[in-house]
């Protein structure tokens, strides 16, 4: 035991020392740079479809901002003249790990803001910590409405609309395009995203198409990869519509296996968040698939056009060889939101580097232009964004050799998002009270 005491002391001292050195090496960032933590999936199943495209888009935009290559109102270099310096963190590893990493970013790396989180579990876990540490946190991607419905934060914002509008818009699309739906089935992943998506879908259909019957609801395990059994089950039911919020590799595998068995010839398929697999699937994505992109992102944004969209679209395509799908669009709207808030705060404080409080005050209720349309921090007491949405139908353009979106319907942000203070599920069930649609 004697030995172990000495060793224990030695080891603890060594550990303490190494921690101390680690802390000392990280000097507080200078006032001419703005250090921002970017947290997104760099490994695992969500890296390919969400994390890496978003990070690529983010790095591209940061580079362009630092060089001052964007048009007004974003023509000021960096954030208000400060050079943007990004610290990348892999979001893989679960919420527990992300809470630790977030603390490290704020307390050890001394970042000025953190922009990140795709997983809704992380988006629920991290905000209380941001609040405790009084750190400026912007959630850029995750979909769960629970963040600001269950919590209320001063330092936390989400610059993307929550997932409610995805399925509300889909249901509206069915009615407005006159698609006959007597019964519909669902294939969604067995975790919060898939379960919520199906629940929203059933609720929206219940309001807009009360006669349509929800038949089988299947919940394969996330990253299952094999969907033969689910496809059989759906084909046996013969519904008019198949709803799915699958994403990434799962969606690609599902579409390969389902289209090989001709499922798209027997029923309409609506994919709540499916645009991001088009660059990979290309022609293997059948025509006539109803497609959402969780906002006016990707192909829908391109179809609408605009200076900002065209510039970023071309630069992204030149840099990475594929066109930008929803993930980089959400990263862009997040970064531009932070830029707007920082610059607004600097206007108010006389050009100083803003504190977390000043940035939070500036961002609250803010509205700005992004490639995906006008983003407004309208919900959650000015902390949760709403944004316009678009739904379209796939059509392969043989001549151009690329997938296009036809019959696109655009929805105003206030048409497919609940008003402030109303919970999303209740809003849907009540028949969308207060929705402003043109």
Partner 1 sequence: MDLLLVILVDGLIYGAWLFIISVGLTLVFGVLGILNLAHGSLYAIGAYATATAVGIYFAYGGDAFPLGSYIVMAFSALLVAVVIAPILERGLLRHFYHRDEVIGVLVTYGVFLILEDAIKLIWGVDPLFVYEPYDLLGMVEAGPLFYVAYDFLVIAVSAVTGFAVWYFLNRTRRGKVMLAVIHDREMSQTMGVNVDKVFLLAFGTGVFLAAFGGALTAPMISVSPGIGVNVIIVAFAVIIIGGLGSIEGAALGAVMVGISRAASVHLMPELELFIIYFVMAVVLFFRPEGIFVRTQTRKI
Partner 2 sequence: MKALSDIRITTALALVVLVGGGQLLPDWALFLMTIALAKGLVSLGIVMQMRAGLVSFGQGLFFCIGAYVSGLMANFTGVTDIFLLTALAVLACLAVGGAFGPLLANYRGIFFAMLSLSLSMILYGVLSKMNSLGGTDGLNVAAPTFAGYAPEGRDLSMTLYLYTVVIVVFIGAMLRTGFDSQHGLVSLAIRSNELRVEYLGASVRRTNAINYVISAVLGGIGGVITGLAIGHVDPEYAYWTTSGEFVFVAILAGYLSIPAVFVASIILELVRSFSNLYFPNTWQMVLGVFLLVIILALPNGLGSLFQRRREGGS
Q: How many residues does the chain have?
A: 438
236 binds partner 1 (CB under 8 A): yes
Among 129, 207, 233, 422, binds partner 1 (CB under 8 A): 233
Residues 33-72 that bind partner 1 (CB under 8 A): 43-45, 47-48, 52
Question: Residue 169 or residue 252: which is nearer to partner 1 going by CB?
Answer: 252
Within 259-401, strands assigned E span: 268-271, 290-292, 367-370, 373-379, 384-386, 389-397
Q: What minimum distance in Å lies between the beta carbon of 230 and partner 1?
A: 6
Binding mask 147-176 for partner 1 (x = CB under 8 A): ------------------------------
Q: What minimum distance in Å lies between the beta carbon of 241 and partner 1?
A: 18
- Retrieve residue 64's tokens: 């362009």
Q: What minimum distance in Å lies between the beta carbon of 216 and partner 2?
A: 17
Secondary element (H or E) of residue 311: helix 307-320
Residues 38-97 that bind partner 2 (CB under 8 A): 42-43, 87-90, 93-97
Residues 252-271 that bind partner 1 (CB under 8 A): 252-253, 256-257, 260-262
Q: Is 68 helix (H, G, I), strand (E, B) or coil?
A: coil
Q: What minimum distance in Å lies between the beta carbon of 44 and partner 2?
A: 9
Exposed e or buried b per residue across 189-221, where buried means at least 16 C-beta atoms within 10 angstroms of its C-beta: beebbbbbbbbbbbbbbebbbeebebbbbbebe
Per the CB < 8 A criterion, the answer to whether 392 and 376 are in contact is no
The full DSSP string for 25-48 is HSPPPPTTEEEEEEEE-SSSTTII
Question: Residue 199 or residue 408: which is nearer to partner 2 going by CB?
Answer: 199
Among 29, 33, 69, 151, binds partner 2 (CB under 8 A): 151
- Retrieve residue 173's tokens: 């699309």
Question: Residue 101 or residue 275: which is nearer to partner 2 going by CB?
Answer: 101
Angle at 416 between CA 413 and CA 418, to 5 degrees: 95
d(CA 7, CA 347): 56
d(CA 376, CA 384): 8
* Eight-class DSSP state of 79: B
**First-to-final CA distance of the chain:** 78
Per the CB < 8 A criterion, the answer to whether 425 and 434 are in contact is no
d(CA 120, CA 145): 9
Question: Residue 14 or residue 256: which is nearer to partner 2 going by CB?
Answer: 14
Q: Is 413 helix (H, G, I), strand (E, B) or coil?
A: helix
Question: Residue 49 or residue 204: which is nearer to partner 1 going by CB?
Answer: 49
Nearest alpha carbon to residue 209 among 237, 174, 244: 174
Question: Residue 121 or residue 419: which is nearer to partner 2 going by CB?
Answer: 121
121 binds partner 1 (CB under 8 A): no
Could you tell which of partner 2, partner 1, none binds residue 257, using a CB distance below 5 to 8 A set by kind?
partner 1
d(CA 120, CA 403): 30
94 binds partner 1 (CB under 8 A): no
Angle (deg, nearest 10), helices 192-208 and 164-176:
30
Among 54, 218, 327, 385, binds partner 1 (CB under 8 A): 218
Among 75, 132, 397, 426, binds partner 2 (CB under 8 A): 132
How many Cα neighbours within 13 Å face the side chain of 146? 14
Q: What minimum distance in Å lies between the beta carbon of 265 and partner 1?
A: 10
406 binds partner 1 (CB under 8 A): no
| Residues engaged in binding partner 1 (CB under 8 A) | 43-45, 47-48, 52, 190, 216-221, 223-226, 228-230, 232-233, 235-236, 248-249, 252-253, 256-257, 260-262, 277, 280-281, 284
| Residues engaged in binding partner 2 (CB under 8 A) | 1-5, 7-9, 11-13, 15-16, 18-20, 22-23, 42-43, 87-90, 93-97, 99-101, 103-104, 106-109, 120-121, 124-125, 128-129, 132, 144, 146, 150-151, 190-192, 195
């Amino acid at each position: 035991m004697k030995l172990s005491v000495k060793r224990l002391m030695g080891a603890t001292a060594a550990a303490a020392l190494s921690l101390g050195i680690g802390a000392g090496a990280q000097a507080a960032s200078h006032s001419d740079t703005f250090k921002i933590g970017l947290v997104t999936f760099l490994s695992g199943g969500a890296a390919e479809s969400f994390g890496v495209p978003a990070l690529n888009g983010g790095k591209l935009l940061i580079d362009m901002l630092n060089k001052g290559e964007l048009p007004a109102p974003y023509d000021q270099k960096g954030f208000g003249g400060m050079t943007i310096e990004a610290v990348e963190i892999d979001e893989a590893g679960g919420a527990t790990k992300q809470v630790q990493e977030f603390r490290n970013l704020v307390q050890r790396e001394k970042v000025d803001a953190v922009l990140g989180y795709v997983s809704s579990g992380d988006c629920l876990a991290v905000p209380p910590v941001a609040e405790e540490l009084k750190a400026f946190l912007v959630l850029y991607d995750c979909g769960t409405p629970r963040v600001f419905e269950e919590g209320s934060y001063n330092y936390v914002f989400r610059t993307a609309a929550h997932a409610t509008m995805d399925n509300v818009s889909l249901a509206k699309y069915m009615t407005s395009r006159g698609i006959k739906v007597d019964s519909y089935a669902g294939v969604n992943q067995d975790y919060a995203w898939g379960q919520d998506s199906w629940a929203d879908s059933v609720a929206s259909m219940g309001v807009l198409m009360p006669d349509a019957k929800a038949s089988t609801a299947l919940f394969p395990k996330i990253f299952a990869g094999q969907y033969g059994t689910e496809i059989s089950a759906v084909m046996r039911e013969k519904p008019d519509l198949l709803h799915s919020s699958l994403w990434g590799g799962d969606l690609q595998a599902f579409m390969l296996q389902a289209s090989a068995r001709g499922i798209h010839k027997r029923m309409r398929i609506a994919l709540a968040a499916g645009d991001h697999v088009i660059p990979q699937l290309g022609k293997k994505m059948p025509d006539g698939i109803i497609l959402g992109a969780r906002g006016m992102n990707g192909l829908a944004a391109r179809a609408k056009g605009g200076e900002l969209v065209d510039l970023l679209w071309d630069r992204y395509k030149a840099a990475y060889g594929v066109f930008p799908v929803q993930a980089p669009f959400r990263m862009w709207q997040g970064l531009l939101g932070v830029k707007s808030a920082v610059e607004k705060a600097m206007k108010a404080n006389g050009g100083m580097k803003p504190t977390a409080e000043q940035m939070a005050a500036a961002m609250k209720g803010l509205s700005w232009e992004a490639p995906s349309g006008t983003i407004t921090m309208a919900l959650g007491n000015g902390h949760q964004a709403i944004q316009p949405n678009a739904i379209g139908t796939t059509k392969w353009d043989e001549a151009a050799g690329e997938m296009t979106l036809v019959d696109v319907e655009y929805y105003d942000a206030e048409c497919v998002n609940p008003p402030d203070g109303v919970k999303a599920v209740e809003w849907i069930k009540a028949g969308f009270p207060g929705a402003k649609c043109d």
